[in-house]
Amino acid sequence: LQILVLHGPNLNLLGIRERSVYGDLSLDQINAALADQMAGLHGLIECQQHNSEGAIVEAIHSALGNKDGILINAGAYTHTSVAIRDALSGVNLPVVEVHLSNIYQRESFRHHSYIAPIAIGQISGFGLDSYLLGLKALIRHLRKTQ
Ligand code: DQA
């Protein structure tokens, strides 16, 4: 199984940015933890981070025919981007949405996700564990359906 892990804007600043909200881990440490977990699950992950919306849309397009599923933390684009949602719908790959913070505990503009309605599910509020749980859930879903 091949999974595309997509990190959205500002997530390159993890470990520096708003540590009380997002924790101390860097993006590289998160990616390393995902790769470790994936090795045990006999699959491959490719991790990408993009600050621009168009680059995320293009990364989603390039998953078509190459990946079995997408794990995405779209960052602030979660709450704004019809284009990212349409790209995810367009490639028709199973999607799991994750967030480090609990978006429902925060400002009301973070309570709406354009991605959630087209995702299998969403995991929010568990820091690194949101990613690890999300990857595990995506793999289990793919094993059941493929
Ligand atoms: C985030 C939550 C978003 O609201 C925010 O814009 C982010 C990170 C999270 O992982 O908690 O950049 O997606």
Classify 15 in phi/psi space as left (phi over 0), alpha (psi -120 to 50) or beta.
Answer: left
Alpha helices, DSSP H only, in 1-146? 19-22, 27-40, 53-62, 82-91, 128-145
* pLDDT attached to residue 63: 98
Q: Indicate the domain borders of the chain.
A: 2-145
Residues assigned a catalytic role: 22, 99
Residues in contact with ligand 1 (CB, 6 Å cut-off): 10, 73, 75-76, 78, 99-101, 103, 110
Angstrom distance (rounded) from CA 72 to CA 121: 11
Which residues define the annotated binding site for substrate?
73, 79, 86, 100-101, 110
Share of the chain above pLDDT 70, in %: 100
Instruction: Confirm or reject CATH 3.40.50.300 for domain 2-145, answering yes or no.
Output: no
Q: What is the pLDDT of residues 38-85, one digit of tens each?
A: 998 888 999 999 999 999 999 999 999 999 999 999 999 999 999 999
CA 145 to each of CA 48, 84, 138: distance values in angstroms, whole numbers, following the listed order: 25, 24, 11
On the question of pLDDT at 21 being above 90, the answer is no
* pLDDT attached to residue 17: 84
